[in-house]
Amino acid sequence: MSSRTGRRRTARVQAMRVVILSDVGSARGGAERIALLMATLLVKRGLTVDFIVGDITPDDPDGALGIRFHVIGVEPIHPASTMKALLPALYNFRVLKFVSKFISETDTPWTVYHLHSWSKALSPSVFSALRRARSVTAGWSGTEKSAVPLQPI
């Protein structure tokens, strides 16, 4: 909207916050490097970044990069895993509880959730948890062909 002077009025906007969810919090491969680079660049732009990690070892556990890590601590699945170890990969209730609690305690209308990877530690349970967030409109599992839409409740 313009005022009579022709200047644009600006409304105060709450600072955006980004929550990145990823199986891994260390730069072991290309996808993990991209997630950490994205988080670092967002912090440099002045955004608050929370990084929820499925496994146990983030690259920056002390927060020197300005990223706030939240570690679930589940073991990623491995090709040689036993059937008992594979069951949490189908639906991990520990992940569901952790992410749901995080969302209920910290969610705001200005929070954006970016699901970077979920198939090695977070499991499909992360989708159930994200349904509790106010502003999730789309989830992404990594490739164009496997985009999974989420609808806000």
Q: Is the pLDDT of residue 45 over 60?
A: yes
pLDDT of residue 81: 63
The whole-angstrom separation of Cα 27 and Cα 116 is: 13
3-state secondary structure of 29: coil
What is the reported pTM? 0.76
Residue 14 has a pLDDT of: 59
Which pLDDT band holds residue 1 (cuts at 50, 70, 90)? very low
Tell me which fold the domain 17-149 belongs to: Rossmann fold (3.40.50)
Residue 74 scores a pLDDT above 50:
yes
**Model confidence over 120-153: pLDDT tens digits?**
889 899 999 998 888 654 444 444 444 444 444 3
Domain extents in the chain: 17-149
What CA–CA distance (Å, rounded) separates 27 from 34? 8
Q: Which residue from 101, 112, 98 is spatially nearest to 55, judged by alpha carbons?
A: 98
Share of the chain above pLDDT 70, in %: 69
101-120 residue pLDDT tens: 999 999 998 899 998 888 88
